[in-house]
Chain A
Amino acid sequence: MRSRLVATLLVALGPFVIAACGDDTTTLRVMAASSLSGAFADMETAFERENPNVDVVVITASSSTLAGQIVDGADVDVFASADDTQFARAADAVNFDPPRVLASNSLVIIVPRGNPRMVEGLDDLARDDVLVATATDDVPIRKYTDRLLEAVGVTANFVTFEANVSGIVTKVSTGSADAGIVYASDLIGAEVDAITIPADDNLTVTYPIAANADSSRADLARRWVEFTSSEEGLAILGARGFAAP
């Protein structure tokens, strides 16, 4: 009888116990643009080594998705966005510190390995036989892509609007699409070939980052922001294909 009672209690309370586990460390919630996922994962490891009682949770998605979540009240300690517009949108809802520039990035054309459609430059993206992948209107990479293409007067043959940059990379790396425009940093680890965009046509993308001043963990959040621009942080960003701010 007693063991039945214990079993019933276990079943009834189990989910709550499991959900509440591991609360003895401080959790720092860092939201970052998808393109930063590799760099921030490396930084998480390094930061947690130096701060053993801190559990850094890095949440990556397109900057527009994250800004939307912040506006909707998501718990956030640090936000690193791939464009100023989405940062400003989030900063309207949450009292962030004045942002600093985390890193800069440029754009590059990616093609499947071996470049089957022989794409050589931005002009080729208008060809009928070149299927071009990009992202939906709100994702920063799309805005930069449109700005870049407009400046050179190219109407690209878009066939899909992905939810984020990794969607573009997947469509190109699997050979479904023939080309796409992504950040230079996305090349690290991607199974694609790159076609450089001449510096005169290219854009410099800067990433604003800031700590949430109203968070109960604001001090820790500021330490993370400082860490990203420390020597170690910059080395990680460099290794992940970003340029210094």
Chain B
Amino acid sequence: MTRRHHAPPRLARALATIAVIFFCLPFIGLLWKTPWSRVLDVFGDADSRGALWLSMRTSIAAALLSVVFGVPLAWVLATTSFRGRNLVRALCLISMVLPPVVGGISLLFSLGRSGLFGRWLDDWFGFQFTFSAWGVIVAQVFVAMPFLVLTVESALRQADPRFAEAARSLGASPWYAFRRVTAPSIASALIAGTVLAWARAFGEFGATITFAGNYPGTTRTLSIETYVSLESDPGRAMALSVMMIGVSFVVLVALRDRWLGAGERR
């Protein structure tokens, strides 16, 4: 696309500059305070590596689960109309705006060992999500999937339905038409949604500690490790924060405008 925009007026640019500064200041403050001589030691110690590894595994699993269930959900929400659709959408997206602790408590009361549904898991299989990495993943999916659903649904609404209809009229099955025609046309939104969901899962803290707990190796993710260190060893917490910012920044920059923007090319 070669759409050209007029440059925004000076006032808008000034306000935008203030916004950019506002987002940069906390990082500058953190980087300035970080004890750089310790950063390598902290990155190398077993606790940080264990927490990073756990965060990586759980957040990637959470992002994949979000795709598996979230894309069909977005597909249904975008293309069908049924009574109460708006209510269903609101229910599926509410965890985005909920304080994560509230999400964690709700998960405890539903999927926890004495929860309404979780008690069956315990009775039948002797299994509970709480205190296990599965609990971390459940908490992460709960808060992260809406980001994917929202992104993919809005892309599907803007996508031209005629291409998929044409494919269907030529004999393609609904799954085939979705996979080969619709999905490629919304590829950038799908990737952006997946990355947003992953990033939200990677940074998850409140729902995780409330629902899954905090134990090294099984439930202590990098964000919980950072929080725990803040009181005993602030320098370590800063080094870990730098690690989290680094990982997230690399991923977001790698995807650039191409994927996270609205399809604009330079």
Please give the residue numbers on chain A whose beta carbons come within 8 Å of chain B beta carbons, in ascending order: 64-65, 68, 112, 131, 133, 136-138, 158-163, 167, 170-171, 174-177
Q: Does the CB pair A160–B128 fall under 8 Å?
A: no
Q: Does the CB pair A160–B219 fall under 8 Å?
A: yes
**B228: interface (CB < 8 Å):** yes
A136 to B232, CA, bound (A): 10
A160 to B128, CA, bound (A): 14
Task: From the candidates A68, A112, A133, A137, name the one contacting B213 in the complex (CB within 8 A).
Answer: A133
**B108: interface (CB < 8 Å):** yes
**Interface residue stretch chosen among B66-74, B111-119, B139-147:** B111-119
By beta carbon, the residue of chain B nearest A160 is: B213
CB-defined contacts of A136 to chain B, threshold 8 Å:
214, 228, 231-232
**B109: interface (CB < 8 Å):** yes
* Contact residues on B (Cβ < 8 Å of other chain), bracket: 20 to 34
Q: A133-B213, A170-B108, A174-B114 are in contact. Are A160 and B131 (CB under 8 A)?
A: yes
Q: Does the CB pair B213–A171 fall under 8 Å?
A: yes
Interface of A is mostly: mixed
Given known contacts A160-B214, A161-B228, A174-B113, what 13 new A-B pairs fall within 8 Å (CB)?
A: A136-B232, A159-B131, A160-B215, A162-B214, A163-B228, A171-B130, A171-B213, A174-B109, A174-B112, A174-B114, A176-B108, A177-B130, A177-B131
Q: Does the CB pair A174–B108 fall under 8 Å?
A: yes
A161 to B215, CA, bound (A): 6
* Shortest Cβ distance from residue A8 to the other chain B in the assembled complex, whole angstroms: 10
Residues of chain B in range 125-179 having any CB-CB distance to chain A below 8 Å: 128, 130-131
* Shortest Cβ distance from residue B141 to the other chain A in the assembled complex, whole angstroms: 19
Q: Does the CB pair B231–A112 fall under 8 Å?
A: no
